[in-house]
Amino acid sequence: MNATQTLIALWTLVLKEIKRFTRIWPQTLLPPSITMAMYFIIFGNLIGSRIGDMDGFSYMDFIVPGLIMMSVITNSYSNVASSFFSNKFQRSIEEMMVSPMPNWVILAGFILGGMARGLGVGLIVTIVSLFFTRLTMEHPLLTVLVVVLTSALFSIGGFINALLANKFDDISIVPTFILTPLTYLGGVFYSISMLPEFWQGVSMLNPILYMVNVFRYGFLGVSDIPVGWALAAIFAFIIVLFSIALAMLERGKGIRS
């Protein structure tokens, strides 16, 4: 395929993914908006007003970046995991496998599709948050960079999960038992400086903590951890996971007999 044909193929796949999640918007776009609105009302307004300041900011302002990031992570991951697994399950993945599309285009198409949903939901949640607080962004470029990279990273994670999955249960295990606990313990609702020293150390092993903190730094200008170090870690994770996903695809893992 020449460069133009490759771009057409990639765009076709991305557009197909966007059409998929917008077609089922009551399952994909609406629920996170409602859930996050509940978080803002209950934790931000009702309980938050009694908690007082966190790292020098109102509790509502403190949790908004974390909740946006939580939505982006969850939706990027689950979009690719469920879409790619559905393609496997319905065998429509064969449409792509018999075509001349290189494997990296298939991988990139699903990742960009996952990012479109993750970032789309992130934008919706950001708009919802404006009903509850006045958002300011200390470092806009850094904020956008971190959310885009995080979305890409979890989209790749969802892809690997779907490649390895044999049944629908297999694509809900990781989000339920790994992603959700790591996100809740990743400093979305509290600053790790509140924790005893031992648990601060344990928290540093949680990769989501870095993403939430750098994203919060973009909004508020405060972070529990060094920003440069966190960015480097996200980049490294993306490169490693993309390479693993591509190698699995080349070997036909889970899709070729």
Partner 1 sequence: MAEPALSIRGLTKVYGNGFQALKGIDLDVQQGDFFALLGPNGAGKSTTLGVVCSLVQKTAGKVSIFGIDVDKDFAKAKYQLGVVPQEFNFNQFEKVLDIVLAQAGYYGMTSREALPRAKQLLTDLGLWEKRNGSARMLSGGMKRRLMIARALMHRPKLLILDEPTAGVDIELRRSMWEYMRRINQDEGTTIILTTHYLEEAESLCRNVAIINNGDIVRNTSVRGLLAELNTETFLIDTSEAITDIPKIEGFEVKQLESTQLSLEVHRGQRLNDVFSALSEQGIQVVSMRNRANRLEEMFVSMVEGSGQGAIDQRVEKQEERV
Question: What is the nearest approach in angstroms of partner 1 to the Cβ of residue 12?
Answer: 3
Binding-site size for partner 1 (CB under 8 A) equals 31
Question: What is the nearest approach in angstroms of partner 1 to the Cβ of residue 114?
Answer: 17
Among the candidate windows 9-17, 163-171, 177-185, 207-215, which touches partner 1 by CB under 8 A?
9-17
Q: From the list 26, 52, 98, 167, which residue makes contact with partner 1 (rule: CB under 8 A)?
A: 98
Q: From the list 56, 168, 239, 256, which residue makes contact with partner 1 (rule: CB under 8 A)?
A: 256
**Site string (136-175) toward partner 1, x via CB under 8 A:** ----------------------------------------
102 binds partner 1 (CB under 8 A): yes
193 binds partner 1 (CB under 8 A): no
Q: Give whole-number Cα distances, 142 to 52, 62, 89, 149, 228, in Å.
A: 28, 17, 39, 10, 11
253 binds partner 1 (CB under 8 A): no
For the chain, the DSSP string reads --HHHHHHHHHHHHHHHHHHHHHTHHHHTHHHHHHHHHHIIIIIIIIHHHH-EETTEEHHHHHHHHHHHHHHHHHHHHHHHHHHHHHHHTTTHHHHHTSS--HHHHHHHHHHHHHHHHHHHHHHHHHHHTTTS----S-HHHHHHHHHHHHHHHHHHHHHHHHH-SSTTHHHHHIIIIIHHHHHTTTSSS-GGGS-HHHHHHHTT-HHHHHHHHHHHHHHS--SS-HHHHHHHHHHHHHHHHHHHHHHHHTTTTT--
Q: From the list 31, 56, 221, 252, which residue makes contact with partner 1 (rule: CB under 8 A)?
A: 252
Q: From the list 35, 45, 58, 86, which residue makes contact with partner 1 (rule: CB under 8 A)?
A: 86
**Site string (38-77) toward partner 1, x via CB under 8 A:** ----------------------------------------
Pick 3 or 34: Cβ nearer partner 1: 3
Positions touching partner 1 (CB under 8 A) are 1-2, 4-6, 8-9, 11-13, 16, 19-20, 23, 86-87, 90-92, 94-102, 252, 256-257
